[in-house]
């Protein structure tokens, strides 16, 4: 079955089918009936960012350029949360060092910066941020100044919090004739996959259950067809996010930086 949707995160139009040939046939019909040409490329991977250890930092925004100035100052701590818990903001201001009306602006600055990404431009997740101190100016302080201060603080704090990239990992089920078992398992291992189990299917087929990074599965249909002479089938669904190995993460970060410069 052909399916089509727009990925909200990557802003890409995603066309899915039962293999490369299936998609190419659909695009051929689109060209023949409606005269529409389609450029295909490998989909982007929805990576995430997070941190591995606590950190603290000050975000101080001060600007004076004639007339009323701009001033916002906050101290925050950040710490990692359990995978999937998301973002949490805690207010521990005492004594009015930061007036109550500016604290939501600090939270907004932190949340917006995390959404943009800090180390590679991917959304940052599973972080608890706590504001515990700061200062303000009776005339120059404003919500915008504290929002910028919050953004500055989270960026500084993340730099010393052992930031890492996370990648989506898929749960994969593969059904193949038993004679191809060794070759298919070897291919899964080469894709950084982990075989979770095997089970007989019918008289001569084997079902393999594995966990494999999404980045390694984008062209898997063609490879499986090649290995099994067209006799293999597979399905996959999202499983969880896991840390990207350091050497691969650095390549991803470098590529994002290159793309940003070209844009």
Triad 40, 41, 42: Cα angle to 5°: 135
Q: Which of 145, 161, 177 is the last residue of a domain?
A: 161
Q: How far is CA 20 from CA 41, 192, 242, in A?
A: 12, 23, 28
Q: Are residues 141 and 201 in the same domain?
A: no
173 and 253 inside one domain: yes
Query: What does the pLDDT look like over 168-185, one tens digit per residue?
Result: 999 999 999 999 999 999
Q: Residue range 14-21: average pLDDT? A: 74
Residues 205 and 263 in one domain: yes
Looking at the fold, whether 131 and 65 belong to one and the same domain comes out as yes
Residue 263 pLDDT more than 70? no
Are residues 169 and 67 both part of a single domain?
A: no
pTM: predicted TM-score of the whole model, two decimal places: 0.86
Count structural domains, the chain.
3
Record the tokens describing residue 83, joined without a space: 């995978």
**Short-list 167, 152, 144, 160, CA closest to 68:** 144
Percentage of the chain beyond pLDDT 70 is 98
Spatial distance between the Cα atoms of 65 and 225, rounded to a whole number of angstroms: 66
Three-point CA angle 191, 162, 82, nearest 5°: 75
Provide the angle, in degrees to the nearest 10, between the axes of the packed helices 103-116 and 143-159: 50
> Any idea what the CATH number is for the domain that residue 63 is in?
3.30.230.10
Helices (H), the chain: 20-34, 103-116, 143-159, 181-190, 220-228, 246-262
Identify whether residues 37 and 103 lie together within a single domain: no
Give residue 39's pLDDT: 84
**Residue scoring higher pLDDT (97 or 36):** 97
Residue 6 belongs to domain with CATH number: 3.30.70.870
Q: Any idea what the CATH number is for the domain that residue 189 is in?
A: 3.30.70.240
- Higher pLDDT: 174 or 10? It is 174
Domain co-membership, 87 together with 155 = yes
Q: How far apart are CA 111 and CA 108, in angstroms?
A: 5
pLDDT digits (tens, 9 = 90+) for 125-134: 999 999 999 9
| Higher pLDDT among residues 7 and 82, named by residue | 82
Together in a domain, 154 and 169 = no
pLDDT in tens, 152-161: 999 999 999 9
Boundary-marking domain end, from 132, 161, 190: 161
225-250 mean pLDDT: 94
- 169 forms beta bridges with 213, 240
Domain that holds residue 39: 1-44
- Asked whether residue 156 falls in the same domain as residue 175, the answer is no
Q: What is the pLDDT of residues 26-54, one digit of tens each?
A: 888 888 888 888 888 888 899 999 999 99
- Pair (62, 38) in one structural domain: no
**Together in a domain, 140 and 198:** no
**Statement to judge: residues 140 and 86 lie in one domain:** yes
């Amino acid at each position: 079955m052909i399916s089509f949707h727009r990925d909200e995160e990557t802003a890409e139009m995603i066309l899915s089918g039962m293999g490369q040939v299936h998609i190419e046939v659909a695009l051929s019909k689109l060209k023949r009936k409606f005269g529409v040409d389609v450029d295909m490329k490998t989909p982007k991977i929805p990576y995430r960012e997070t941190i591995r250890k606590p950190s603290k930092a000050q975000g101080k925004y001060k600007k004076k350029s004639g007339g009323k100035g701009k001033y916002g100052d906050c101290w925050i701590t950040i710490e990692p949360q359990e995978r999937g818990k998301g973002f949490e903001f805690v207010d521990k201001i005492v004594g009015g060092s930061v007036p109550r009306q500016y604290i939501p602006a600090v939270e907004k600055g932190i949340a917006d910066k995390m959404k943009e990404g800090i180390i590679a431009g991917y959304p940052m997740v599973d972080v608890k941020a706590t504001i515990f101190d700061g200062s303000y100016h009776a005339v120059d302080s404003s919500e915008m100044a504290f929002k910028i201060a919050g953004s500055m603080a989270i960026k500084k704090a993340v730099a010393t919090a052992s930031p890492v990239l996370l990648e989506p990992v898929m749960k994969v089920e593969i059904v193949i004739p038993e004679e191809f078992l060794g070759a298919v398992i070897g291919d899964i291992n080469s894709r950084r996959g982990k075989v979770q189990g095997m089970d007989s299917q019918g008289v001569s087929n084997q079902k393999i259950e594995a966990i494999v990074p999404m980045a390694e599965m984008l062209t898997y249909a063609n490879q499986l067809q090649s290995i099994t002479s067209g006799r293999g089938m597979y399905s996959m669904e999202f499983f969880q996010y896991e840390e990207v190995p350091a050497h691969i993460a650095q390549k991803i970060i470098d590529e994002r930086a290159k793309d940003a410069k070209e844009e």
